[in-house]
Amino acid sequence: MLAYIIRRLLGAVILLFVVSLVTFSIFFLVPRIAGASVEDMASRYVGKTADAETIRQMAEKLGFTDPLLTQYGRFVSAIFVGADYSTGPTTVHCPAPCLGYSFITQNPVWPDLVDRMGVTISLAVGAAVIWLFFGVATGVLSALRRGTVFDRAAMGVALAGVSLPIFFTGLLSLTIFSYGLGWAVPGGTYVNFAENPLAWAGALILPWVTLAFLNAAGYARLTRATMLETMNEDFIRTARAKGLNERTVVVKHGLRSVLTPILTIFGLDLGILLGGAVLTESTYSLPGLGKYAIDAIVNNDLPKVLGVTLVGATFIVIANLVVDLLYAVVDPRVKYS
Amino acid sequence: MRKQRLVTMVAAGAATVMALSACGGGGGSSNNNNNKGGGNPSATGPNAAIGKAFNPSDKKGGTLRFANAGDWDSLDPGDTYYAYSWNFIRLYGRSLMMFASAPGQDGAKLTPDLAESKGVPSEDLKTWTYKIRKGVKFDDGTPVTSKDVKYGVSRSLDKDIFPNGPTYFNEFLDLQGYTSPYKDSDPNGLGLKAIETPDDQTIVFKLKKPFADFDYFAGMPSTMPVPKAKDTGSKYKEKVVSTGPYKFEKVELGKSFSMVRNENWDPATDPNRKALPDKITVQVNVNPDDLDNRLMSGDLDVDVVGSGVQPAAQAKILADPNLKNNSDNPLSARLWFTNINGEVAPLDNIECRKAIQYAADRTGYQRAYGGNAGGEVASSLLPPIIPGAEKIDLYPSKDNAGDLDKAKEALTKCGQPNGFETNISYRAERPKEKATAESLQQSLGKVGIKLNIKAYPTGDYAKLYAGKPDFAKSNNLGMMVFGWAADWPNGFGFLKEITDSRNIKPAGNTNFSVKDPKVNEAIDKAMTEKDENARQKAWVEVDRKAMESAYALPGVVAKGLYYRPKNLTNVFITDGFSEYDYLALGVSG
Amino acid sequence: MKHSQEDLLAGGAARPSDRPNEAFLQVRDLKVHFPTDDGIVKSVDGLTFSLQRGKTLGIVGESGSGKSVTSLSIMGLHKRGTANISGEIVLDGQNLVTATPEQVRSLRGKRMAMIFQDPLTAMHPYYTVGNQIIEAYRVHHNVSKSVARKHAVEMLDRVGIPQPDKRVDDYPHQFSGGMRQRAMIAMALSCDPELLIADEPTTALDVTVQAQILDLIVDLQKDFNSAVIIITHDLGVVAELADDIMVMYAGRSVEYGSSREIFAAPQHPYTWGLLGSMPRLDRERSERLLPIKGTPPSLINVPEGCPFNPRCAFAGLNGDLSTTERPEFREVSPGHHIACHLSGEQRQHLWTTEIKPKL
Ligand SMILES: Nc1ncnc2c1ncn2[C@@H]1O[C@H](COP(=O)(O)OP(=O)(O)OP(=O)(O)O)[C@@H](O)[C@H]1O
Ligand SMILES: [Mg+2]
């Protein structure tokens, strides 16, 4: 098991290395191949009346004139040992892990990411708890009451939840609950947990619920289907044959095996979400990683995009790893050697 | 090339599906139809804030709440280029000159701000001198001197640290190799020879070439004073030292910031600012549809980007008379047009270009932008709201629908009596530009000019495709759909960038096609004309020359739809920015 | 007018066991019907039998004849709402059909237990074997975990799992098929059930293991003195184990008798067919398999008359009786019942001249 973990960790590191290489290539190599010159790439970082000389200087400053391998080396070395850059009057050290600094705002990317991560984690974890609970509960109840009004209603709502995009449900919920009824604060009012936990929860409640609704819908459907399947398993019949009461049968025997595939998906979903809940964050104007990524893309701010991509990939890789390891704990049939 | 200002404003216009039908002088193609009392001059109702102040008030107090669907390029006066930022920055900074805080065309007029009066040019227009008002202080109480202004301008020259701002000073000042105060041998960072500060109240700018409109440069935020002691380079934007009526209270970049009254601002030194609200809050990166909803629900006061509401809100506003009464639909200094590429045969022949000018159905162009309500048909490049603009219509046709006979005549003269075939490009993510291309394809097809439509990504349109002459030529882009908004509402600000062929770079251009020495000559003449009226006429001449050479097919002058929440006081659209004047706003609630 | 089997039974004196007070398990006119979209599936349609303590009943029949449905009804394991159950199932004086689910639950595992067809899927993959046996014990016995664990180890030992104190902590997937079935048996027997139902306990196992498991069941039955129902579609399996044998066809009993009688003098053509298809160790393979032609009937549209008539080689012998009238379930010799229109002579003749020589 330990050997396995070590091997997986190594694999994860290599994977991240590859991800960094690929993303780096996408942002810095591909435009060059597509025909953009060094000056073209630099030209978006200088004023619109800049002359060729200014653009050339900018290209040099941004390092676009160096060979790509050198640029990549600089990027990687910054992650491990940090880098220095000039802010004007002083030279600022960007300590490791330095994911570079924004060409446009001149801020190091990593502290920004850390700052944004808090929002995304708050959003993702809060929503995840809600959707896991309600999704699974609804799915289980639906499966146990298959064909009843409850089941039909729940699955109808769930279908809506899966099919409606978050910017629709999000804006709808804002319109109803923030502007119509005035129950919830509108978007764009995120407060740190440490600052004011109540305001924090208040700002997040709508996004939590909306994001949770979307995912809970999927989880309810999945849980229901798996539950129906599981309740027809032979081992459930065995459990009943022992004389166990129905609750024990459902919870200890049924739910236990339903939860395994759900936890797997849950881990991966959460991992992806931690890399930035792009649509939710933009709909509710939450300054999280997803919104950061969008803004970076709009501004063509490559180091930021690269940073978010790497962080997002890291979350997904870690989530994968955790899920795989958890699987061994949850399902005794899985053995790692 | 920095396109942000252009990008925002042009993109904003793209969102304008349709607008108030009641607005715009009713008739569409009126001469010089500008925003001075345009539309319904009613005291309340639609367009009540066009041409005059709506809900005028002197009542102080309250909190004015702004929100931004995106984010500032920077709050640093030396590093910002968005129109709305230049409008907003007047709340916390004082440049030598500024756009007057006044409705309509008066808002497009420069007035001295930190300077006591307009700049005094030398005879050759290469030296400009300003006197700074006495008694102006930074928010920490230190007096502002001409050296702080010089330092501010000097640092803005460093595009490594401040890449966002315009480069006019880099281009025009006689730098003699000076690059940055941060690399200056002078410990005070005042080694720049192109700016002299003979005393604390005087500042002298020395130019490489004569320029009559230098007051506009002196109105750029980069002339706002920056105290060297407090300058942290690229970090200065986190704590900008204020000279205006408001200073920063709390700044969380990328999220929000707030401003409170600057007690070191002395109204006696400032004839331009009412400073009504007690506090100003700004949220950035807000979902644009949510932002509109909040405006309409009274939860927000101003969409700071000033490009009008989103299509969803627009539909809602136009459908609901109550909402519509709280909206304004002004013309802007923003033109949708199509470049005609003289590098691509047979368009190297002026007659073939003229054939396009004649054959194009401009009402079709207008329909592509939402019809009469989305904007007005343009017959030349200079938008009518720019002071001094004149109606020029060199290729007239009945109802603007195109003159096919004249077009055929021109084609014959060009040696292509049966027409020819070429490509037309547009920005892929812009349905209206696509509709434009299709409309042109149809109307030009009537005289045998066959257009093949090509789409390119918006983000790289100027950098890699249409704005890259090599690419445009080798891909036979005979026509390139585009749009343009002015840096300033004057001839220089609007026309130079898109008509001066000496600006054309290997890539990333703003002028895709206009290459005419006569236009360049006219530009030089306009830039050195000292008399303001004569100068305006000279720019009209540039417009005329550009139309004569037929390199650009004007399409539509855009209008935006703005929502004006009820509790705003003193609201008006200023032609200086084609936005509400943020300096004037107050709140009643 | 057609007579239903019920009428005949109610009026007739002949029943497999007419001594209700002595039988431990009494099933009377059991009907289990499943309403489905295609129609009502009459999986069990009027079944009557009884079983004494310490005795073994073999239920034999082709796939789909209703064996499992019968045993699940006894155990009360049909899902509420899906099955319509009527008739009586009386376990030691208590009618399970009318009892509350909770009452039936309390009997399950304790007084009656069941071993299922497929030991591969019948255990929960995520819990250890020991855990599952412990659970079975503790539902009905208020004892500590360690006591229950000791009991589980004992039970595993009883069913012949080597090193039971170690294997008790294994997961089912670590057991072989045979071991799993032994563990299932251990689980079923952990509460000393008075009734044990083994539903095809050996079909999933290979031949040598089959024999061991069956021996085990017999041994345990002796030790515990339980009543046992062994269900199979293979007559050979029950030949030595069962005291009585019931042959089922299309949800009904077609022949019932002592094991000896059924093998020595089977009376029903269907039973002949079963015997014909029974593998026997003393014959050549080619000779011994005489599968019953045709396929089992639809349980939604059961054939008129004798349900076996479409497949019966002798259906025409009594005119159209077989296709119009349902044969009565009657006693043909003491304790031996069949449902067939053939007369005694006809059966005797056919058995001696046509069937027996081929077996
Ligand atoms: N829940 C149910 N709904 C509908 N039909 C059912 C249901 N359960 C069983 N049946 C039907 O009842 C009939 C008898 O099934 P049963 O499982 O008792 O057969 P079996 O004799 O045990 O066969 P096998 O030897 O294959 O185990 C089959 O036709 C089956 O399809
Ligand atoms: Mg069965």
Q: Where are the alpha helices (DSSP H) in B330-423?
A: 350-359, 362-368, 404-414
| Parallel, antiparallel or unpaired: strands A83-86 and A91-94 | antiparallel
Residue C179 CA to ligand 2 centre (angstroms): 21
Q: Tens of pLDDT along chain B (589 residues)?
A: 333 333 333 333 333 333 333 333 333 333 333 444 344 445 678 889 998 999 999 999 999 999 998 888 889 999 988 889 999 999 999 999 999 999 998 998 999 999 999 999 999 999 999 999 999 999 999 999 999 999 999 999 988 888 888 888 988 999 998 989 998 888 888 999 999 999 999 999 999 999 998 999 999 999 999 999 999 988 899 999 999 999 999 998 888 899 999 999 999 999 999 999 999 999 988 888 889 989 998 889 999 988 788 878 888 888 899 999 999 989 888 899 999 999 998 999 999 999 999 999 999 999 998 777 688 999 999 999 898 999 999 999 999 999 999 999 999 999 999 999 999 999 887 888 999 999 999 999 999 999 999 999 877 788 788 988 999 999 999 999 999 887 788 899 899 989 999 888 887 788 999 999 999 999 999 998 989 899 999 999 999 999 999 999 999 999 888 999 999 999 999 988 889 999 999 999 6
Max Cα-Cα span within chain A: 86
Q: Does residue C63 line the site of ligand 1, with CB under 6 A?
A: yes
Q: A241 vs C109: CB contact, 8 Å cut-off?
A: yes
Q: How many helices (H) and strands (E) does chain C have?
A: 14, 12
Q: Which two tokens stand for residue B465?
A: 């495709």
Check residue A291 and give its pLDDT. 87
CA dist B383 and B484 (Å) reads 10
- Mean pLDDT in chain A? 85
CA-to-CA dists, residue B196 to A161, B151, B191, angstroms: 66, 11, 10
- In 3-state terms, what secondary structure has residue B385? coil
pLDDT in tens, A68-108: 888 888 888 888 888 887 777 888 888 888 888 887 777 78
Residue C58 C-alpha, separation from nearest chain A C-alpha, in angstroms: 20
Q: Does C82 contact ligand 1 (Cβ within 6 A)?
A: yes
Does A147 reach chain B within 8 Å, measured CB to CB?
Answer: no
Cβ-nearest to C136 among A242, A330, A333: A242
Instruction: State whether C125 and A235 contact (CB < 8 Å).
Output: yes
Q: Test A240 with C77 for CB contact under 8 angstroms.
A: yes
Alpha-carbon distance C208 to C178, whole Å?
10
Q: Number of A:B CB contacts under 8 A?
A: 183
> Which residues contact residue A27 at a Cβ distance below 8 angstroms, ignoring those fewer than 6 apart?
A302, A305, A306
User: How far, in Å, from the CA of C120 to the mean position of ligand 2?
Assistant: 15
**Length of chain B counted residue by residue:** 589
| CA-nearest residue, atom 3 of ligand 1 | C34
Chain A hits for C109, CB-CB cut-off 8 Å, are: 241-244
Residues in B touching A169 (Cβ below 8 Å)? none
pLDDT digits (tens, 9 = 90+) for B37-94: 344 445 678 889 998 999 999 999 999 999 998 888 889 999 988 889 999 999 999 9
Query: Is the pLDDT reported for residue C7 higher than 70?
Result: no
- Most C-contacting residue of A232, A242, A244, A335 (CB-CB within 10 A), to test interface: A242
Number of A/C CB contacts below 8 angstroms equals 69
Q: Does residue C20 carry a pLDDT above 50?
A: no
Q: Which of C86, C54, C107 is nearest to C218 (CA)?
A: C54
Integer-rounded Cα radius of gyration of chain B: 24
**Ligand in closest contact with the CA of C69:** 1
C33 Cβ below 6 A of ligand 1: no
| pLDDT per residue as tens digits for the range A191-244 | 888 888 888 888 888 889 888 988 898 899 999 999 999 988 899 999 999 999
A183 vs B301, residue with greater confidence: B301
User: What distance in Å separates residue A233's CA from the closest CA in chain C?
Assistant: 7
For atom 17 of ligand 1, the residue with the nearest CA is C68
Cα(C62) to centroid(ligand 2), Å: 9
Percent of chain C residues past pLDDT 90, beyond the cut: 38
Give the C-alpha separation, A272 to A15, whole Å: 16
Backbone conformation region of residue B479, classed left if phi is above 0, alpha if psi is from -120 to 50, else beta: beta
User: How much distance in Å is there from the Cα of C232 to the middle of ligand 2?
Assistant: 8
Reported pTM: 0.77
Question: Using the beta-carbon criterion (under 8 Å), do A238 and C135 form an inter-chain contact?
Answer: no
In the numeric block, which tokens belong to residue B540? 């009209």
Look at residue C224 and tell me whether its pLDDT is greater than 90: no
**Min CA distance, A100 vs chain B (Å)?**
15
Which subunits sit against B, judged by 3+ Cβ pairs under 8 A? A
Per-residue confidence at C13, pLDDT binned at 50, 70, 90?
very low
* For residues C62-71, average pLDDT: 90
Ligand 1 atom index nearest CA of C251: 14
Domains and CATH numbers, chain B: 83-238 (3.40.190.10), 331-559 (3.10.105.10)
C68 lines ligand 1 (CB under 6 A): yes
Q: Locate all alpha helices (DSSP H) within chain C, ordered by sequence.
A: 5-11, 67-75, 101-107, 129-140, 145-158, 164-167, 177-189, 207-224, 235-239, 259-264, 269-276, 285-288, 321-324, 344-350
Question: Could you tell which of C68, C84, C114, C247 is best to mutate to test the pocket of ligand 1, judged by most ligand atoms within 8 Å of the CB?
Answer: C68
Q: Which two structure tokens, joined as six digits, stand for C205?
A: 């196992």
**Is residue C282 very low, low, confident or very high in pLDDT (cuts 50, 70, 90)?**
low
Q: In the structure encoding, which two tokens stand for residue B318, read together?
A: 């136009």
Residue B422 Cα, gap to closest chain A Cα (Å): 23
**Tokens, residue B422:** 């070429």
Interface test with B, best of A27, A39, A44 (most B CBs within 10 A): A44
Measured between CB atoms, which of C113, C124, C140 is closest to A235? C124
- Test A284 with B464 for CB contact under 8 angstroms: no
The pLDDT value given to residue A164: 83
Which residue, judged by its Cα, is nearest atom 25 of ligand 1? Answer: C63
pLDDT score, position C246: 94
Examine the predicted complex and report whether its ipTM is higher than 0.95. no
Contacts of A238 in chain C (CB under 8 A): 116, 122-124, 132, 184, 187
